[in-house]
Structure 1
Amino acid sequence: MTTETPVASWGLSSAEAAERLAEVGANRAPRPKPRSPLSRVVDQLRDPMILLLLAAGVIVVLLGDLADAGIIAAVIVLNTTIGVVQEVRAANAIASLDRLSAPHATVLRDGEPVRLDSADVVPGDVVRLEAGDIVPADGTLLESAALQVDESAMTGESVPVARGEGEELLSGTVVTRGRGWAEISRTGADSGLGRIATAIASVGARPTPLQQRLSRLSQQLVVLTLALAALVFGLGLARGEDAAEMLILAVSLAVAAIPESLPAVVSVALAMGAFRMAKQAALVRWLPAVETLGSVTVLASDKTGTLTEGRMVVQHLWTPAGSWEVTGHGYGTAGDVVGPDERGSLTPLLSDAVLCNDARLSAPQDDTWGIVGDPMEAALLIAAAKYDDALAADAGDWQRVEEVPFDATLQRMVTVHRRADTWLTICKGAPEVVLELVQDQQVAEQAREATRQLAEQGFRVLAIADSRGATRPATELLESGLEGELVLRGLAAISDPPRADAAHVVAACAAAGIHTVLITGDHPATARAIASELGIGVDAEVADGDMVLRGEHVDRVDRIGVYARTRPEQKVDIVSAWQDRGDVVAMTGDGVNDAPALRRADIGIAMGARGTEVARQAADLVLADDNLRTVVTAVGEGRRIYANIRMFLRYGLAGGLAEVAVILVGPFLGMPVPLGPGQILWINMLTHGVPGVAFGGEPMDPAVMRRPSPPPQKSVLGQGLFRQILVAGALITLVSLVAGLLAPESRVQTWVFLTLGLAQLGVGLAIRSPRSGLAWRSRGLEVAIAVAAGLQVLAVTWSPLRELLGTHPVPLPDAAALLALSAVPGVVLVVQRWAAASKVPAR
């Protein structure tokens, strides 16, 4: 049954839809209730490090040390506040992403099809469903054309099932073939998908792989630091120190040595990174994708609309009687068909192209056609309009009565039309498929040679053939192939020019250590021509789908740069071959059959504008602008986040290491206890508070996009980070101990306290990301460190803080000397960085 035009009485008016939406609510699956502020606070207080601080607070209160108790309370309040604020920011960012990436549906409103968010669908709405759509709510089919649905998400049955008029469709199922109109009966929590969602609404979000690795690292640091704290406690008792004071010191030291704000910093970095990507037209649907993006080593890219403009234009027409050039550009109305004077053979070719077509042209605006539907089919309509604008009107005399929709496996589309007593069967598709069905194989051979020549010039070629008669073809004949039944009408050579910046994107990927692979359904010669123009696989091999089917690509996958005449399901084999080599693969796709490959890839990337809903739902990243440049931007964001987390680890762990080392080594050099418990907690609060969070917002170092990313299985402390932590920690320890040795005996703690805190902040400035310009937006870290440094100095100059922390005033000449001493670690690291940069050869 045809589904070309909906019945006029179907659907709702806008007013009726608004009333029902207010009555039944949005068509959304139930979600977990937002967490209350109190529950967030309780979760923060459950952190083992905070529990240690609470225990220390109880101890010092019992001992009557109210000054240290006040500092401990301030640390707990600050850490808890930062953690809660970060959680709320992360939740808001993810909620914004959910709204941006919400699925859509085509609904009849006021008798006209409109596209809107699936959340606005209400009972009584009539929705249009096509291959690739996800059924937005439960409903009943009013009309269908060869419609099949994948119900595995609901029933577990993996084989798509046919659905016809009067049969029910369930929300969340996927249309794999055909088209149809369905009337919605149940939405939201009342739908089948909604009932399942209700059962799982209480399930929380799982931590990302990076969060899990850092959690394990934190556990290891806790064990190590508690052991060191026990050692400090034991050594203090051995020296005859007061047991209660040493207990407080040991617990304070254990807490100070651990970057307890790290999990919250990571959560916010990932969530805000995803939100920043959304502003660049890259919608992240799964939070771990943000970190995985930074590790991508292979980008398997579709051609049409991704590397190319997606604005198809017919440039050549070929028939057995001759060939013609079609002038004009893109979807512009200007242009003509130029060639031999005898153009009679073009009429049946272009007439068939109009009839066997699901696209539509809307009224031109600014001399440009508006298109609805597939760009390739729209290009055929525009070519027909340039030839004879009466062809579209003549097509209205024919009634489409049956069809076999285009299928990526069959690589063809068949429609059956009737006018009076005449039946017309049209087949359109890949030349190698259509030409096998042609009666006159001599003509077919001429067409094969013409196809080869056009493909070598970079054109995508479609063949069109038909059969006219007084008998309607049997359904079995349509499905089996029409072999030997058709008359070839001609070929259409279609071009889709590369995007202006596509070659630059490929070059940027190569500079970042990302290998770009082109995968297309085009003829091998067409694929090679496009790839050469873009700089993809200049010296690489070209493989076809048959090679992939036989598994011949596996052993030399790293030498193949172009895959032509591939079917979407073969992308899974290509992705798997790369992954077996240990590569991290990003895969682009837009169709129903791309979904398995998108799920198989480490990062599935779907097209937001022209992609099907099922592809978008299967992907981790959706490109709202269908532009591959956005992938490069997203990869850079992923690498920026990972680099900033490592930078924070270098800063935080180096400071913690220095605090432990100063406490351990100082007494062996003849000093009293170099730092008091309150002083340790104060330094920790200043250095790990606002400056620690500011590291997560650091701008990207351009160098991260000029080198390959580290494999994801590598330790987060790998690539020399552990050594860098040791070096920075040793430098801070050294200047702090020197300050203690130079200090008057009664001022040792003050001098060590001031030097240690300022030296840590100096290291933070030294290791920050390079930046250009004076924009305050990129100066958050400097501002945070300046504020922290001011508070550190205030702790030895303002009498209330001096009494609280047990510090003393420092004379101006001594203060200047200590400031210079504190700057030494940062200066050494900057010089070391410059020296390392000068050894790197220019690219």
Structure 2
Amino acid sequence: MSPPTVTTPGLTEEEATRRLDELGPNAVPQAPPPGVLKRVLVQLRDPMILLLCGALTVVVLIGDRSDSLIIAAVVVLNTTIGVVQELRAEHAIAALHRLAAPRARVVRDGQVREVDAAALVVGDVVRLDAGDVVPADLVLREAVAVEVDEAAMTGESVPVTRRLGEEVLAGTVVTRGRAVGEVARTGADSGLGRIAALIAGTEKRPTPLQRRLNRLSRELVVGTTVLCVAVAVLSLVRGGGLVESVILAVSLAVAAIPESLPAVVSVALALGAHRMARHSALVRWLPAVETLGSVTVLASDKTGTLTEGRMTAQVLWAEGTTRRLDGPPEDADPRWQRLLRDLVLCNDAVLPAEGTGPPVGDPLEVALLVAASQDGVTGADLRRRWTRVAETPFSSERQWMSTTDQDGAGARLEVVKGAPEAVWRLLAEGAPGLPEVVAYDGRAAAERLAANGFRVLAVADRDDPRSPYALAGLVGVADPPRPGAREVVTACADAGIRVILVTGDHPATARAVAGAVGIATADDGVVDGAAVERGEHVDRVAEIGVYARTRPEQKVDIVAAWQARGDVVAMTGDGVNDAPALRRADIGVAMGDRGTEVARQAADLVLADDELRTVVRAVAEGRRIYANIRAFLRYGLSGGLAEVLVILVAPFLGLPLPLTPAQILWINMLTHGVPGVAFGGEPLDPVLMRRPSPSPERSVLGLGLARQVGWTALLIAVVSLGPGLAVAGAGTASVQTAVFFTLGCAQLALALALRAPRDGADLAHRGLEAAVLASLAGQVLAVTWGPLRTVLGTDALPWSTQATLLAVAVVPAAVTVVVRQVAARRRD
């Protein structure tokens, strides 16, 4: 069996560029974006906009030109905002997709290099390893024990074997082995491209939060419609005219509807995804933006996440002697020469000549090559004598790999490298008397190295397949904790997020790392994969902080056990073995730099910087988004309910109709339009990351929000009716003007009362204040500028009167601020 060494220089960069220009990028067809008309119709389908359109039809039929102009302006404005925000969201997600584009290892000009998969062309030579997503349709030119998961293309659940000369299709996943393939088809011509063309017109469904808010919209519309009909009937029964009763019903309808709610949600989600991208968190699935804020458990892998991911071989052990590799080389000692030779031969990484490019391959195997080269043992020298003729790739089930090499004289050398306990089993198969057959106790040495935080590999070899393996030695590889890992674990604990460690390493190594970063490490809190397989973790999952020696299916079981308790689980990972758990978790988080493509494809969130701290930032962003939407709901629903109360209560106080539909729509346009959208950009309230997040099953109006809406609306209604009563004898226009101005200002003041805390010098988060000031200017124009007063039917108000009404209008906001401060002190 020929090893998958690169035997062709591949295409030249010049030829690859020419073919790329001629054939186009290796990208699947995308669904054509909807046209402007379709986007507008989608916005007009919203229940609240439909109700406004119904109100517009009514006022047009009764000849109310001013009200019809205002309603039409509101519908056009909200539709425009919705379309613009939809475009912004699409552009943001498209940018994220470009950032998370798959990569491929290609041979060009005789060198292995990484390129964007979109840059592949027919004739390119591509290297594949376990965990890679096949970037284009390839014909295998060299293959070693290759198995491919073709479920995405064929629905076949079991990986299939692919041999020399066979094809592997774009979009499938290499689950075992290594190969070299030549690109046969790219882009739309590939198997994945043909399937993608069939689903190009598929529409995405709304996120869970959007669906919940859509249900709220429908409930508001139904309730408002019933209320309007009832009020119109009562008005007619009391002797009111038909036109007057219809106008009253229309006024109620437009007062109760927070018509900018869809735009606010779109803005919040789009801005959230954009902010996450700026912090190296690339959202692959938009619902992840909202789900992140509800995470209660973070299951983290070790290497590169809690640790630096900078693997360095630091300790060797052979024949009872330990040697640290930070000392001078020991070329003459045959023990180290044998061990280092085996580490280089049983290795799939590539260490290019200095200055010709970065290392290629698994970081652990690269570390072994670097350590050997420092002692003068290099792959180039060994390959002049030894040629690989067979191999068994590493798998998480076996926990070892083996290679067979042969020299020119026909001598053979088999080397096995892997987890110590797996290598002990192989040694025992050939020599049941272990450890008697092994002169020195490698088991005890491995335990000591693991207890000191080293990842330990055992190496054995033999020159005759009929003989038992002999232990060549051990190597201890260090991957120190990241400097900020302990602070990240503490920040998670403060936010009510439990961090657990799930790793394939030795229990002693896992315990050492967990202790260094602050994860619970009591003896009863460390469980191995075998115990998980027996189900021993289920009843005490909350007590376990560290899982070691876990296999892929066991990681899924761990996630499922937490979910069964009602927790929302985020899982980090980078390898093929992590993909099932990433898929099962509520939020799968893949490493963007060192992670495999299959892990990135299985995840909801990709960390471009491989920093666990970025997950905490993403959780904070999710909480920020949800808090901002709830703040807008309190703001918008309080104002709408206050308008309804004003209209319903005014007749019982002997007042004429206190607001016209045009005035209500003007208030809603000013208060819900620009300020409403500005709520989506409010900064994070630090208190949100110092307490657990509410359950995602809780209603969006839960945690007392409905009660807060009720008493805030009542306050606004009271202070708005007061000025109307004060001028009751001055005529209908005066009453309406006083109520109109006070009601609008009271809602704008409430927006400032509900804003998130911010640094006084931070001008970047002053969008809400700027929006409120702009809307207040519009409210002032409505009672000072003649043409606008004519449309709205308002009287001119002197500046002194405006100041007095404004002072009255801030009372509900002041009460709200006081209540929030009192509640915050009680929580603290």
Normalized against structure 1, the TM-score is what?
Answer: 0.94
Contact 1:291 1:638 survives alignment (8 Å) = yes
Counterparts of 1:112 and 1:457, CA distance in 2: 39
Contact 1:53 1:72 survives alignment (8 Å) = yes
Q: Greater CA deviation, 265-274 or 236-245?
A: 236-245
Contact 1:29 1:189 survives alignment (8 Å) = yes
Counterparts of 2:328 and 2:310, CA distance in 1: 18
Q: Greater CA deviation, 613-622 or 103-112?
A: 103-112
**Secondary structure of the structure 2 residue equivalent to 1:143:** strand
Report the equivalent of 1:162: 161
Q: What is the correspondence of 1:419-568 to structure 2 with a 5 Å cutoff?
A: 419=407, 420-438=409-427, 439=431, 441-442=435-436, 443=438, 446-469=441-464, 473=465, 485-539=468-522, 541-568=525-552
Counterparts of 2:700 and 2:325, CA distance in 1: 57
Counterparts of 2:771 and 2:378, CA distance in 1: 70
Report the equivalent of 2:588: 604
Q: Greater CA deviation, 178-187 or 39-48?
A: 39-48
Contact 1:519 1:566 survives alignment (8 Å) = yes
From 344, 348, 360, the counterpart of 2:334: 344
Please tell me the residue identity of whatever aligns with 1:359.
Answer: A
Counterparts of 2:449 and 2:640, CA distance in 1: 67
- Deviations along 1:379-427, whole A, 9 cap, x unmatched? 2222222333567524532111111111111000100001122100000
Counterparts of 1:265 and 1:403, CA distance in 2: 58
Q: Greater CA deviation, 686-695 or 534-543?
A: 534-543
**Secondary structure of the structure 1 residue equivalent to 2:359:** strand
**Secondary structure of the structure 2 residue equivalent to 1:371:** coil
Report the equivalent of 2:72: 73
Q: Greater CA deviation, 116-125 or 647-656?
A: 116-125
Please tell me the residue identity of whatever aligns with 1:599.
Answer: R
Please tell me the residue identity of whatever aligns with 1:458.
Answer: G
Q: Greater CA deviation, 673-682 or 355-364?
A: 355-364
Report the equivalent of 1:476: none
Please tell me the residue identity of whatever aligns with 1:429.
Answer: G
- Deviations along 1:105-136, whole A, 9 cap, x unmatched? 12222332222222222222221111111111
Distance 1:213 1:288, change over 3 A: same
Shift in Å at residue 590 of structure 1? 1.3
Counterparts of 1:839 and 1:674, CA distance in 2: 40
Q: What is the correspondence of 1:742-761 to structure 2 with a 5 Å cutoff?
A: 742-745=726-729, 746=731, 747-761=734-748
Normalized against structure 2, the TM-score is what?
Answer: 0.96
Q: Greater CA deviation, 705-714 or 385-394?
A: 385-394
Report the equivalent of 2:322: 323
Distance 1:158 1:527, change over 3 A: same
Report the equivalent of 2:392: 404
Q: Greater CA deviation, 540-549 or 440-449?
A: 440-449
Please tell me the residue identity of whatever aligns with 2:755.
Answer: R
Q: What is the correspondence of 1:688-707 to structure 2 with a 5 Å cutoff?
A: 688-707=672-691
Contact 1:363 1:370 survives alignment (8 Å) = no
Shift in Å at residue 684 of structure 1? 0.9
| Number of residue equivalences | 817
Distance 1:189 1:444, change over 3 A: farther
**Secondary structure of the structure 2 residue equivalent to 1:372:** coil
- Deviations along 1:656-708, whole A, 9 cap, x unmatched? 10010110011111111111111111111111111111101111111111111
Counterparts of 2:517 and 2:47, CA distance in 1: 54
Q: What is the correspondence of 1:668-747 to structure 2 with a 5 Å cutoff?
A: 668-745=652-729, 746=731, 747=734
Please tell me the residue identity of whatever aligns with 1:5.
Answer: T
User: Is 2:809 aligned against 1:822?
Assistant: yes
Report the equivalent of 1:775: 762
Q: Greater CA deviation, 242-251 or 645-654?
A: 242-251
Q: Greater CA deviation, 135-144 or 291-300?
A: 135-144
Shift in Å at residue 723 of structure 1? 1.2
Distance 1:460 1:675, change over 3 A: same
Shift in Å at residue 454 of structure 1? 1.3
Counterparts of 1:156 and 1:800, CA distance in 2: 67
- Deviations along 1:256-285, whole A, 9 cap, x unmatched? 312222123212321221121111111111
- Structure 2 gaps, min length 5: none
Report the equivalent of 1:792: 779
Counterparts of 1:394 and 1:463, CA distance in 2: 21
Please tell me the residue identity of whatever aligns with 1:412.
Answer: W
- Deviations along 1:33-85, whole A, 9 cap, x unmatched? 11112221222223333333333333333333222122112112211111111
Contact 1:356 1:415 survives alignment (8 Å) = yes
Report the equivalent of 1:265: 264
Report the equivalent of 1:5: 5
Counterparts of 1:184 and 1:249, CA distance in 2: 70
Counterparts of 1:528 and 1:706, CA distance in 2: 27
- Deviations along 1:586-625, whole A, 9 cap, x unmatched? 1111111221111111111111111111111011111111
Shift in Å at residue 716 of structure 1? 0.6
Shift in Å at residue 364 of structure 1? 4.9
- Structure 1 gaps, min length 5: 328-334, 474-481
Counterparts of 1:834 and 1:72, CA distance in 2: 38
Distance 1:538 1:721, change over 3 A: farther
Counterparts of 1:353 and 1:708, CA distance in 2: 47
Contact 2:293 2:621 survives alignment (8 Å) = yes
Contact 1:52 1:251 survives alignment (8 Å) = no
Report the equivalent of 2:628: 644
**Secondary structure of the structure 2 residue equivalent to 1:604:** strand
Q: Greater CA deviation, 704-713 or 444-453?
A: 444-453
Report the equivalent of 2:616: 632
Contact 1:359 1:371 survives alignment (8 Å) = yes
Counterparts of 1:645 and 1:310, CA distance in 2: 38
Report the equivalent of 1:215: 214
- Deviations along 1:282-327, whole A, 9 cap, x unmatched? 1111110111111100011000001000111122111114111121
Counterparts of 1:144 and 1:592, CA distance in 2: 19
Report the equivalent of 2:645: 661
Q: What is the correspondence of 1:139-288 to structure 2 with a 5 Å cutoff?
A: 139-288=138-287
Q: Greater CA deviation, 92-101 or 260-269?
A: 260-269
